[in-house]
């Protein structure tokens, strides 16, 4: 996810301080990885330099001056373009897990052990996501569903690979 474009979109309703942007971002998207303040201000600095935001006001405070930022027309165009552009699906055509399975087969180690360990790890993560989904609000439920669907697809691949290990072993060893 583009932090810069996300901050731009959060500015569309009206001017905000960097602190307010961080809080809004973290509330909506930062459950697992909240933004660091430094990242917010570095991003705002780049957006300002690129003409996507401007300073709407400066307020004196107990510490450093607090700048309020507002989105520019160019920033709004950037957000509109970003929202209209589909994300590229990630097909994972050559993933690390497949590499581990093949290397286990080539080395005479147990590929079944590799697959079983991965299955157990996936199931642990799925249990945790299911717990979070049950206890969460709608946004958390949707985010957890997205992750769970991907993990379910991985589990299907693990089962399919386990069922075809003998065939794969013959191919990679020949």
Domain with 42 in it: what CATH number? 1.10.10.10
Query: Are 159 and 112 contacting, i.e. CB atoms less than 8 angstroms apart?
Result: no
Tokens read off for 3: 């932090």
Q: Which residue has the tokens 């301080």?
A: 17
DSSP annotation of 64 reads S
11 and 39: one domain?
Answer: yes
Residue 93 has a pLDDT of 57
Sheet of 66-71: strand order equals: 16-17, 66-71, 53-59
Average pLDDT over residues 78-90: 83
Range of the domain at 79: 3-84
72 and 13: one domain?
Answer: yes
pLDDT surpassing 70 at residue 21:
yes
pLDDT surpassing 80 at residue 87:
no
Query: Higher pLDDT residue, 21 or 29?
Result: 21
Is the backbone of residue 88 left (phi > 0), alpha (psi -120 to 50) or beta? beta
Q: Percent of the chain having pLDDT more than 90?
A: 70
Residue 28 has a pLDDT of 83
Euclidean distance between CA atoms 44 and 21, whole angstroms? 10
65 and 109: one domain?
Answer: no
Tokens read off for 57: 């006001």
7 and 80: one domain?
Answer: yes
Tally of CB atoms within 10 A around 53: 25
Q: What angle do CA 43, 78, 141 make, to 5 degrees?
A: 75
Mean residue pLDDT of the chain comes to 90
39 and 71: one domain?
Answer: yes
Residue 89 within a domain: no
Average pLDDT over residues 21-42: 90
Detail the DSSP E strand segments found in the chain.
16-17, 53-59, 66-71
Residue 94 has a pLDDT of 56
67 and 105: one domain?
Answer: no
11 and 76: one domain?
Answer: yes
Q: How far lies 112's CA from each of 103, 105, 171, in Å?
A: 12, 9, 16
Q: Using pLDDT thresholds of 50, 70 and 90, give the confidence band for residue 130.
A: very high
| pTM for this predicted structure | 0.69
pLDDT surpassing 80 at residue 63:
no
Euclidean distance between CA atoms 125 and 130, whole angstroms? 9
**Which of 37-41, 61-65, 105-109 is the most confident on average?**
37-41
DSSP annotation of 50 reads T
Number of domains within the chain: 2
Q: Using pLDDT thresholds of 50, 70 and 90, give the confidence band for residue 86.
A: confident
Average pLDDT over residues 13-35: 90
Residue 154 within a domain: yes
160 and 108: one domain?
Answer: yes
Residue 143 has a pLDDT of 93
pLDDT surpassing 70 at residue 17:
yes
């Amino acid at each position: 996810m583009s932090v810069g474009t996300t901050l731009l979109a959060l500015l569309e309703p009206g001017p905000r301080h960097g602190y307010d942007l961080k809080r809004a971002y973290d509330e909506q998207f930062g459950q697992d990885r909240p933004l660091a303040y430094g990242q917010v201000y570095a991003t705002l600095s780049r957006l300002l330099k690129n003409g996507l935001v401007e300073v709407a006001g400066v307020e004196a405070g107990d510490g450093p001056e607090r700048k309020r930022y507002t989105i520019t027309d160019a920033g709004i165009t950037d957000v509109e373009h970003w929202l209209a552009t589909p994300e590229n699906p990630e097909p994972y055509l050559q993933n690390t897990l497949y590499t581990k399975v093949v290397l286990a087969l080539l080395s005479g180690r147990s590929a079944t052990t590799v697959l079983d360990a991965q299955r157990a790890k996936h199931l642990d993560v799925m249990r945790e996501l299911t717990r979070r989904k049950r206890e969460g609000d709608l946004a958390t439920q949707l985010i957890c569903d997205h992750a769970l669907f991907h993990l379910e697809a991985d589990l299907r691949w693990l089962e399919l690979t386990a069922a075809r290990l003998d065939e794969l072993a013959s191919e990679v060893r020949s």
